């Protein structure tokens, strides 16, 4: 499963930043904005409670970086908190 890092995404008027398992890559809507569909089952964010997956609105393609399954792409820089979050997501998916 691919993992993506989202910077400055929006869901229900809430700013979303973090690392998530990818369900569906970038999709362009009719109004020119972009969306990425991610799995949010294990997220602690209140805005995601009771949901398995969400479409996160992205202003431009540079706000999404593929972390896993992206050989040859730009190197990802994560904070300690983001590395811990990524590690927990990967650990969950290996079960």
Q: Which of 30, 31, 38 is nearest to 11 (CA)?
A: 38
* Residue 38: predicted pLDDT: 92
* Residue 11: predicted pLDDT: 93
* Residue 1: predicted pLDDT: 63
The pTM of the full predicted model, rounded to 2 decimals, is: 0.68
According to the 3-state scheme, what is the secondary structure of the chain?
CCEEEEEEEEECCEEEEEEEEEEEEEEECCCCCEEEEEECCCCCCHHHCCCCEEEEEECCHHHEEEEECCCCCCCCCCCHHHHHHHHHHHHHHHC
* Residue 70: predicted pLDDT: 46
* Residue 77: predicted pLDDT: 62
Distance CA 37, CA 57 (A): 9
* Residue 73: predicted pLDDT: 43
pLDDT along the chain (95 residues), means of 10: 86 90 88 89 85 90 75 54 75 61
């Amino acid at each position: 499963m691919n993992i993506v890092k989202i910077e400055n995404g929006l869901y229900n008027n809430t700013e979303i930043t973090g690392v998530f398992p990818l369900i569906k890559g970038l999709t362009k809507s009719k109004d020119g904005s972009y969306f990425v569909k991610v799995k949010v089952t294990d997220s602690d964010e209140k805005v995601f409670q009771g949901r398995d997956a969400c479409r996160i609105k992205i202003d431009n393609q540079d706000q999404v970086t593929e972390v896993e399954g992206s050989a040859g792409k730009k190197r990802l820089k994560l904070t300690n908190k983001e590395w811990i979050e990524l590690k927990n997501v990967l650990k969950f998916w290996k079960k």
